[in-house]
């Protein structure tokens, strides 16, 4: 995919996501404002009813004690404690609030601002909040000869109550936003992953073409030489070219087999021939095969096989390939005098194999990708390192098939250390 198209797509999706989230937040704010307005209206309606009820109770009480006529003449009302108790007022408020669906904690008092006096109060702990944040409702408005008194009510958990009223909408909105963000991130990650896979595929095709072209060219030249009647008479000549063809043919078969093995692993069709194998014997055999290639570069392979129990359950062919790939990589990525160390030790219910080298190392960023199929670590100016990028992905797949673990410790230009744990028995 074209880089500009990717950038344009990301920008377009980002603006679309921001727009959707903005609309969602706007609707949440609108709903919250409506809920708050409804709450205020319900509280006002409830408290107006409470004030009317208190005034009615006061009139009824005055009639009982023959004071109503005097109160009309002098616009006075009876003391509150002679009309109702704190408990009575609390019950009135609770009833009216519940009728209107307001079911949350509240505090109230009757306050006279002129004297800064609390005539009645539910709790003295909320005096400041009641005065500064409470809703005020005047009592006995007809009493024009005394300073006004107010019934104050305050809701300590008003915000929480309004949120619980909106929890359904908030939950749905949060889920939708999470889904949108996740989908956006997943889409972006998929685009970049597909782009990277496309680049890796092209590199793989180029590498494969180069790798196959070399032995094919060698075989082709050998066949041309063998077809020359003048040179065909020499037995030494025939043996040399036949041996060359045979070696190049083996090389082609090995590369083809590696590609086929990877395809089989990807399909989940890998079949293992389980048997009891000696890991030390496999390591020694692999070292024999690779020693010449290491010594050509004036390098050395040393081994410290300290595991007292080297036998494990596994597939001998695949475990051999596993060891070979790790040692071969250690040699290939150590451009000068490779010093490769391989060691074993028993740990828990299995054996740990460690392979160290003094090669170019792998940065922390690259370490996250080295086990990906087709991925090859950039080697800077070292262009002679060949491969398909299948070795370590194959190694990891084999380790996991044996229910083991593989890890790496490395720094750029400071070598690498691979640790492979293989259990004694493969548990189902």
Round to whole Å and give the CA distance between 415 and 428: 36
Q: Residue 74 — pLDDT band, cuts 50, 70, 90?
A: very low
| Digit-coded pLDDT (tens) for 382-412 | 445 555 455 687 788 888 888 999 998 888 8
pLDDT for res 383: 43
CA dihedral sign of residues 107, 111, 113, 117: negative
Domain 275-423 matching CATH 3.20.20.140: the answer reads no
Q: Average pLDDT, whole number, for the chain?
A: 79
Round to whole Å and give the CA distance between 17 and 6: 16
- What is the enclosing helix (H) or strand (E) of 138? strand 135-139
* pTM for this predicted structure: 0.49
Per the model's pLDDT, the better-predicted residue between 234 and 44 turns out to be 44
Look at residue 376 and give its three-state secondary structure.
coil
Segments making up each domain of the chain, as ranges:
3-165, 167-266, 275-423
- % of residues, the chain, pLDDT over 70: 79
What's the token pair of residue 97? 């609030």
- % of residues, the chain, pLDDT over 90: 15
Round to whole Å and give the CA distance between 196 and 210: 21
In the CATH hierarchy, which fold is given to the domain comprising 167-266?
Helix Hairpins (1.10.287)
What's the token pair of residue 359? 């090669």
pLDDT for res 120: 85
Per the model's pLDDT, the better-predicted residue between 164 and 350 turns out to be 350
Question: What letter does residue 125 receive in the DSSP assignment?
Answer: G
- What is the enclosing helix (H) or strand (E) of 18? helix 3-64
Per the model's pLDDT, the better-predicted residue between 338 and 236 turns out to be 338
Look at residue 301 and give its three-state secondary structure.
strand
Cα–Cα nearest to 89, from 41, 134, 112, 57 = 57
| Digit-coded pLDDT (tens) for 272-328 | 788 999 999 999 988 988 888 888 888 899 999 999 999 999 988 888 888 988 998
Q: Residue 340 — pLDDT band, cuts 50, 70, 90?
A: very high
CA dihedral sign of residues 329, 334, 335, 339: negative
């Amino acid at each position: 995919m074209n880089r500009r198209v990717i950038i344009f797509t990301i920008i377009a999706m980002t603006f679309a996501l921001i727009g959707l989230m903005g609309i969602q937040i706007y609707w949440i704010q609108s709903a919250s404002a409506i809920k708050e307005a409804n709450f205020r209206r319900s509280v006002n309606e409830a408290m107006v009813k409470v004030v009317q009820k208190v005034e009615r109770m006061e009139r009824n009480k005055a009639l009982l004690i023959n004071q109503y006529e005097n109160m009309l003449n002098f616009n006075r009302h009876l003391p509150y404690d002679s009309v109702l108790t704190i408990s009575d007022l609390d019950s009135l408020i609770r009833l009216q609030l519940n009728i209107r669906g307001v079911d949350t904690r509240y505090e109230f008092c009757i306050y006279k601002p002129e004297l800064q006096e609390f005539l009645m109060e539910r709790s003295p702990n909320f005096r400041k909040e009641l005065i500064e944040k409470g809703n005020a409702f005047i009592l006995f408005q007809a009493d024009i000869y005394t300073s006004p008194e107010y019934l104050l009510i305050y809701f300590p958990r008003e915000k929480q109550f309004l949120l619980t009223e909106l929890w359904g909408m908030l939950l749905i909105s949060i889920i939708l936003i999470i889904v949108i963000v996740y989908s956006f991130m997943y889409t972006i990650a998929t685009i970049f992953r597909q782009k990277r896979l496309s680049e890796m595929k092209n590199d793989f095709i180029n590498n494969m073409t180069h790798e196959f072209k070399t032995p094919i060219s060698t075989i082709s030249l050998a066949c041309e030489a063998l077809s020359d009647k003048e040179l065909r008479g020499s037995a030494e000549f025939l043996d040399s070219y036949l041996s060359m063809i045979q070696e190049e043919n083996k090389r082609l078969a090995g590369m083809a087999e590696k590609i086929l093995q990877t395809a089989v692993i990807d399909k989940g069709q890998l079949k293992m021939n389980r048997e009891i194998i000696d890991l030390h014997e496999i390591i020694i055999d692999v070292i024999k095969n690779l020693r010449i290639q290491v010594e050509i570069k004036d390098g050395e392979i040393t081994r410290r096989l300290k595991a007292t129990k080297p036998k494990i359950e596994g597939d001998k062919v695949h475990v051999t390939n596993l060891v070979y790939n790790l040692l071969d990589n250690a040699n290939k990525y150590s451009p000068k005098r490779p010093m490769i160390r391989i060691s074993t030790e028993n740990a828990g219910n299995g054996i740990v194999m460690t392979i160290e080298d003094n090669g170019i190392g792998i940065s922390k960023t690259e370490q996250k990708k080295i086990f990906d199929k087709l991925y090859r670590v950039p080697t800077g100016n070292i262009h002679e390192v060949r491969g398909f990028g299948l070795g370590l992905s194959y190694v990891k797949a084999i380790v996991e098939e044996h229910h083991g673990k593989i890890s790496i410790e490395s720094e750029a230009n400071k070598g690498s250390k691979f640790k492979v744990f293989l259990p004694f028995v493969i548990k189902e």
